[in-house]
Structure 1
């Protein structure tokens, strides 16, 4: 019995064969089945978020649960924009260099670069140059939006009235991250 047309199963077989052949060639030339690409577009968590989850709208208390200890997901916030940085566990995870930046909005430290001052890990930008704040926050948000491993997942509601009766953090000598100019 012969067939005159392709059906959906035949199309899936051809696509599967092409993907398999592509993976074999990639491994042959690069010793990696993805031609050396390890970004968000081959990360199952990215597709799980895009297909199954709604955009997060968190409070600061809810955000504090996403530190890699209480929750397997690691979220970082800059001026209210929340990014999933779980794919870089060695850097942002519990023993990572930048673990102090996660599970909170630490906008101020992204601007000042003063990692050694615990009071800098806040979204209180009072006492800083507004133009510098706007410029640096925009650059950091672009960095996380365009990074191959990180993606935007929602927003956190910032409580600016918490700072009404408090003094802003003491000024520190700004130490910009590499590549960030004043």
Structure 2
């Protein structure tokens, strides 16, 4: 075998194997199956997000969200069995219903009116965004504008003595909100410190 036969020779060329000039654009086509896969993926993503944020696999917005059935505003059986309503609480007794203690109930007070917000536990429960407002009276914090996030860093207080008329109107509007959404089960005792 000669030296020339044993080694293959490569010829250098200026032609490239891949050339942008030779590229042909192929149109992208979606079949019905591809569209169904995309829609299925979107539904799956939506359901996972709903489960994460609301605790339910699907969250549908009702057109009549402002109407709360009367049975949801009635005093829960838990309180009817414990005592005659309305129930009076001390601050210490109220603090036992903050969503972290042994009690299964979650209470919130505004202007001395106590509401059972257990139904909204995803907001007021142990990991809820509004956990700070439970088991105490944070009336002063309800006097701030609704989207004022600095409220979450302020200390709870029931003292409204230095509030302006606008701030008191905000507190009253929150009181009306809670009256429409959650059952009012009792009051804070007037002998407590930091009263209104």
The alignment status of 1:62 with 2:62, answered yes or no, reads no
Structure 1 residue runs without a partner (length 5+):
1-35, 164-182
Coordinate RMSD, CA, aligned: 3.0
When residues 160 and 53 of structure 1 are mapped into structure 2, their CA distance, relative to the original with a 3 A threshold, is: closer
1:116 aligns with 2:152: yes
Cα distance in structure 2, aligned partners of 1:146 and 1:138: 12
Alignment-derived partner of residue 124 in structure 2: 92
Does the CA contact (< 8 Å) of 1:40 and 1:46 recur in 2? no
Distance across 1 between alignment mates of 2:77 and 2:193: 36
Looking at CA atoms only, which structure, 1 or 2, has the larger radius of gyration? Answer: 2
TM-score, normalised relative to structure 1 = 0.57
Compute the displacement of 1:46 (Å): 2.3
1:83 aligns with 2:97: no
Structure-2-length-normalised TM-score: 0.54
| Stretches of structure 2 lacking an aligned partner (at least 5 in a row) | 1-64
Note closer, same or farther for the CA distance 1:42–1:158 as it changes in structure 2 (3 Å cut). closer
CA deviation string 1:50-103 (max 9, x = no partner): 576422100111100001121211000001000000011111001100000000
Structure 1 CA distance, aligned partners of 2:180 and 2:73? 15
Deviation at 1:49?
3.6
| Cα pair 1:60 1:158 within 8 Å, conserved | no
Partner Cα distance (1:141, 1:44) in 2: 17
- 1:139 and 1:122 mapped to 2: Cα distance? 18
CA distance, structure 2, for counterparts of residue 87 and residue 98 of structure 1:
13
Asked if residue 145 in structure 1 is aligned to residue 179 in structure 2, the reply is yes
Give the paired residue count.
124
